[in-house]
Structures are given as C-alpha cells and as structure tokens.
Amino acid sequence: MSGTRVGERLRAIRRQKGLSLHDVEARSQQEFKASVLGAYERGERAISVPRLLRLAEIYEVPGDQLLPRELAEMEINLTEGASTSIDNGFTIDLVALHALDDPDAQVLSRYAATIQLQRQDFNGRLLTIRSDDLRVLAAVLGRRPEELGVRLEQLGLRARA
C-alpha cells in the first residue's frame, strides 16, 4: 500500500470536515504542523500508527476511516488457505512479540503499546487486535491486510486458543 493512497484519504477526510492544514495545526495545538500534515497528505512522509490514530481523534472519526476505502472492504487471510473476515481480529502473543528483533515486529510492538494505553489493558501477555487496528496496521506497514495476516503468522505472533 502506498503512502500516497493513505495521504489522499487523509486529505479527503480533512476537507470533508471543512478544515485547512492550518486549522488542523491550531486544533491540535501545534501537535501537527501544517507543513508536516501536507507532507503526509502528499505521500512524501510516512505517518506512524500513533500519529494516524491521533489525527483520527482530532478529526473525530474512527481510525480506519483514515485508510483508503478499498482496505475497509477487504478480508484478511490469517493463514494461507484460510479466509477469515477482518472483522474478527485476532490475539497476539506479546511475550513472543517483545522477543523478536524484526522491523515489522518493532512497529507492531509500538502499536501494541498504543492500544494498551488506549484500552488501559496492561496484562502483558496477550492483546486482541481488532479489525480497525488490523486495517491501520496494514496500511502503516505498507501491506494489504491479507499480507499482514500471513506476515504475523510467519513471525509466530498469533496466539493459539
């Protein structure tokens, strides 16, 4: 998934809300500079998961609404040959996640920490990744949702029931 498609969606939502880049800068109390937001929208700069979620809060929309529309309608394959609706989400093993030295795992670890903070869920062993989280995470990692599911399986992060 290209950052350009995410950026186009960011711009579309901002415009639907009737906000200029400077309005967002003011609304965020300078957390998002107009120039940086513009770079996100043009696909010139990657946006992190926590920043994407923060923008969703500022725009007062669910996080997955900042993703390209086709992503919201896709299904995710968590294992090759098995089709599971993205609406189901899944549980990841945080212990296994923290033991990995992999760039994707590092991004997922930061995202998991963000989710734990938002939910005030600090059990430390397992974390349910919901459908909205999957779509956001896939976009940030530059993957389609079904590719993300396969990658997480490869990393051994899906908790077994």
Q: Residue 119's domain is classified under what CATH number? A: 1.10.10.1930
Does 62 share its domain with 37?
Answer: yes
Structural domain boundaries, residue 37: 3-69
Predicted local distance difference test score (pLDDT) of residue 73? 44
Is the pLDDT higher at 93 or at 24? Answer: 24
Q: What is the largest CA-CA distance in the chain?
A: 48
Q: Is the dihedral of CA 15, 18, 21, 24 positive or negative?
A: negative
Predicted local distance difference test score (pLDDT) of residue 20? 96
At what angle are helices 49-59 and 3-16 packed, to 10 degrees?
20
Does 55 share its domain with 98?
Answer: no
Is the pLDDT higher at 64 or at 97? Answer: 97
Three-point CA angle 42, 44, 47, nearest 5°? 90
Does 47 share its domain with 105?
Answer: no
> Does this model's pTM top 0.85?
no
Does 65 share its domain with 121?
Answer: no
The reply to whether 47 falls in a domain is: yes
The reply to whether 160 falls in a domain is: no
How many distinct structural domains can be found in the chain?
A: 2
